[in-house]
Amino acid sequence: MITPSLPAVLLTAAALLTSGAASATAADAAKPHGEPVMEAATLRCLGVYWLIDGDDNANAEVDMEVRKAGAGAWRKGPSLFRVERRPKGYLDQGGAQRAPSLVVIPPGGELFAGSAVLLEPDTAYEIRLTLHDPDGGSAERTLKGHTIGEPKAPSDAPVRHVAPGSGGGTGTAADPFKGLKAAQDAARPGDRFLLHAGTYAIGTWTITRNGEPGKPIIWSGAGDGEAIIDGGRPDDKLEGTAIFADKAHDVWFEHLTVRSAFNMLRAHDADRLVLRRCHLHHFICGVVATGNDPARQNGFFISDNLFEGVMPWPVTDEQYRNLPESRAIWVTGSGHEFCYNRVRHTKDGIDVGDGPRCDNTDIHNNEVSECFDDGTEMDGSERNNRCFENRYTNVLVGISFQPIYGGPAYAFRNAVYNMRGEPIKWHNAPDGALAIHNTFVRFGVPAYLATEDSPVHCMTRNNLFVGTSGRAYSLDPKMIRCDFDYDGFAGASGDIFLKWNNVRYATADEARAKAPVYHHVVVVDPATLFASGITAPLNNSTVFDPATIDLRLKAGSAAIDAGEVLPGFNDGFAGKAPDLGAYEFGSSLPVYGIRPDHP
């Protein structure tokens, strides 16, 4: 049986919970509160939201259709997600009142939001939204959007040369600027500086000159050897910052080596920064930009970098408690792109940050390993943050949603192998987190959730959870208006299959028949699941080479043709229905990490 697309399932559930048996009234009819909004574009996604008045019985829906601009037939996308009304404001991870969202929901109004995903870069699209309500409300709007392309230096950018030194030079190839200060003193928007081999800073390099939109100041290695920005701190006392770029804008860093400081690039309240094809090593935090002024910190593009931290993996419990906060990328704001990076030996891999504006950021096609906490934290997301097509190996937790401030926040098509803890961290009462088409493989129980805080209005669809023994999924907290279904489980054993809202279901058949969730749960044989022959780890401390992790499905597996049709997320499946997990049967692996042939 094919059920409605994933947001529609939650919309229907919300309507049943709020409408009861009362007849429709004028306040039940939905109508637009202004026009829908196209939000900050990324390479492969376009996010939108629409404020709606009325609909007190919560049964209105907003359908999405997508097409390339002027390109004929529309294709169905995911319906917009109804962001739940909150009688009280959200609390942050520390339990303090969080700053309100910049999107203000009017009294009696509703917020619908969602993303068109897996689009083509640098392409114009049209998105058609259709509001319909059984109580009489309806409207249709078409928005125009354009995915971004990868940043390109202006073809007429003046090229200026730099060599190590302490002053002088005119910037020509024959007479380069001597050192960064001399070069920066002469910098103008649109300049491209080629840094020739050598060490340029011992200590902190502070960015004092900014570019302009379309005319960035570019600092790039010249290609004749390592151009090194050296924080100068010893390995056992990593302090300070190598590149200080608070409030900077339109500045690019490319083909550089940055090393030996606590922070590699600090960029609070910055805007339109590019970090690309750099090697960052011997650090605690790579890129940190969490001091987000609501009016700025947009459009970071961080791609094809090698981040090598100093955190051990695995760690003991004592080390976990005492080691410092460490991340390769930790940036809040809007419209950021973190893609094709190789990350290893940090606490977390790549995170968005908790701030008054944290939306429309993409984390994709990264190779992340040896993280003693989370592969990625979506923590602090408002709406339309997306984590997809990443591979995480040797981590504590795969993907964290703690908390989500209404959502939707998406994790889809990720492959996670050898996590020591929870596949998905639904802690600190996340509201509006969606996990779709991911594959998780671990030693022990296939999946569990250990917290007292209740997730609200969260969803799973078409995931694979693979373990070696124990309950398929054991969830400790009360799950509030959550909708989990069409997931597959392999390697479970014992007399309890599922624990949900403190009720235990002995078998998958009993869960399908009696549980409020998992009416279409799938049991999969772990011995015949993956075409590569890979199985779940035999312990949780072995270090696996990420390049050997291939979780594509084997012919004949029960995971094939077992998923739900989710427009926008699994278009073009080849069989009778979509397959479970991160990959369709017969598909190629995505590119994970640094692209070897990309300029």
- The string of DSSP codes covering 373-388 is EEEEE-TTB-S-EEEE
Does some domain include residue 311? no
The pLDDT of residue 26 = 58
For residue 451, what is the DSSP state? -
H-assigned helices in 504-595: 508-514
Assigned token pair, 317: 């419990």
Does residue 418 belong to any structural domain of this protein? no
42 lies in a domain? yes
The structure tokens listed for 599 are 């300029």
> pLDDT at position 56, please?
86
Residue 73 resides in a domain: yes
> Number of structural domains, the chain?
1
Residue 314, preceding peptide bond in cis (omega within 30° of 0): yes
Q: Is residue 19 part of a domain?
A: yes
Residue 24's pLDDT is 52
The span from the CA of 333 to the CA of 388, in Å, is 18
CB 304 within 8 A of CB 594: yes
Element (H, E) at 432: strand 431-436
Q: How far is CA 422 from CA 86, 426, 444, 583, in A?
A: 27, 9, 10, 21
Give the CATH number for residue 49: 2.60.40.10
Residue ranges of E strands in 541-588: none
How many angstroms separate the Cα of 28 from the Cα of each of 64, 84, 278, 388? 22, 16, 55, 36
Number of helices and strands in the chain (H, E): 4, 47
Distance (Å, whole) CA 126 – CA 124: 7
140 occurs within a structural domain? yes
Residue 486 region by backbone torsions, left for phi larger than 0, else alpha for psi between -120 and 50, else beta: left
pLDDT of residue 310: 97
Which pLDDT belongs to residue 3?
38
Nearest to 209 by CA among 200, 221, 217: 217
Q: Is residue 32 included in any domain, yes or no?
A: yes
How far apart CA 68 and CA 434 sit, in angstroms, is: 26
Asked if omega into 567 is within 30° of 0 (cis), the reply is no
Domain range enclosing 36: 6-146
Q: 68 lies in a domain?
A: yes
For the beta carbon of residue 270, count every other beta carbon within 10 angstroms. 28
**Residue 584: strand, helix, or coil:** coil
Contact 574, 555 (CB under 8 A): no
Q: What is the pLDDT of residue 4?
A: 40
Per-residue pLDDT of the chain (599 residues; tens, 9 = 90+): 333 445 544 544 444 344 333 445 657 889 999 999 999 999 999 999 999 998 888 899 999 999 999 888 999 999 999 998 776 778 777 788 887 788 888 888 899 999 999 999 999 999 999 999 999 889 999 999 999 999 999 999 999 999 999 999 999 999 999 999 999 999 999 999 999 999 998 899 999 999 999 999 999 999 999 999 999 999 999 999 999 999 999 999 999 999 999 999 999 999 999 999 999 999 999 999 998 777 678 999 999 999 999 999 999 999 999 999 999 999 999 999 999 999 999 999 999 987 768 999 999 999 999 999 999 999 999 999 999 999 999 999 999 999 999 999 999 999 999 999 999 999 999 999 999 999 999 999 999 999 999 999 999 999 999 999 999 999 999 999 999 999 999 999 999 999 999 999 999 999 999 999 999 999 999 999 999 999 999 998 899 999 999 999 999 999 999 999 999 999 999 899 999 999 999 999 999 999 998 76
